Homo-oligomer: A and B are copies of this chain.
């Protein structure tokens, strides 16, 4: 049995759980592996599930038995379930935040694998990155982060394999932001910048905080991740980017309870003339 811990239960987390439940039978017959959701965490609360009780998650429901979020406790719950079944533990981090990344080292060292599109570990402080990589090697576990660059396209592992096979990287070229590419290709003279950003956000192209796209931070994160794959010990700040976020909004926060993305799109309307 593969015991899954899901961190983040928004659009992506719910969809993932639905897909896991829908595919579980096929995976069991094809690969001989039972896949079970053993815990779900969101920003303030979590639920740890007993073996065989993940049917209650159907349709993205939030199960009963909620308690305050404690990622360390969730990890122990998964590892105990894996030990009991003779299986494995895997944490899927669907967030874009730093809190789960702080836990990766511990999880991996204890033998739980981590799969995530979250770019915080790969582009965060180099010493933490190095510890995470070492923990996976020491724990016999896997740190799976292919989706941090290029989404569903295989970029990172093919690059890693080319380098392992003795190739030298001379340059990496590409469009590193679908969001910025969409914005630059959609904007035409006479259009309001804020309208184009709103469109990109409504289509689901932006990061949860659109400033990560507009500031170039998201691009810089991906460049950092690929540069580290090529052996460069660089930090996020070493990647030069030019920000499109108005100075006044760089430290802005939305009102309590407001959706960050929606509120930000309202806020930048005031800066359309500058763009």
Binding site for B on A (CB under 8 A): 19, 22-23, 26-27, 30-31, 152-154, 157-158, 162, 164-166
Complex Cα–Cα for A153 and B158 (A): 8
A19-B164 contact in complex given A154-B158, A158-B154, C-beta closer than 8 Å: no
In the A-B complex, list the 4 residue pairs whose CB atoms are closest, starting with the nearest. A23-B166, A154-B154, A154-B158, A19-B166
The answer on a CB contact under 8 Å between B164 and A30 is yes
Shortest C-beta distance, A29 to chain B (Å), equals 12
- List the B side residues contacting A26 at CB < 8 Å: 164, 166
The answer on a CB contact under 8 Å between A166 and B22 is yes
- List the B side residues contacting A22 at CB < 8 Å: 166
- List the B side residues contacting A165 at CB < 8 Å: 19, 23
Q: Could you list some 17 contacts between A and B, CB below 8 A?
A: A19-B165, A19-B166, A22-B166, A23-B164, A23-B165, A23-B166, A26-B164, A26-B166, A27-B164, A30-B164, A31-B164, A152-B158, A152-B162, A153-B158, A154-B154, A154-B157, A154-B158
Shortest C-beta distance, A37 to chain B (Å), equals 15
Complex Cα–Cα for A165 and B21 (A): 11
- List the B side residues contacting A30 at CB < 8 Å: 164
Starting from the known contacts A26-B164, A30-B164, A154-B157, 14 additional A-B residue pairs (CB-CB under 8 Å) come to: A19-B165, A19-B166, A22-B166, A23-B164, A23-B165, A23-B166, A26-B166, A27-B164, A31-B164, A152-B158, A152-B162, A153-B158, A154-B154, A154-B158
- List the B side residues contacting A23 at CB < 8 Å: 164-166
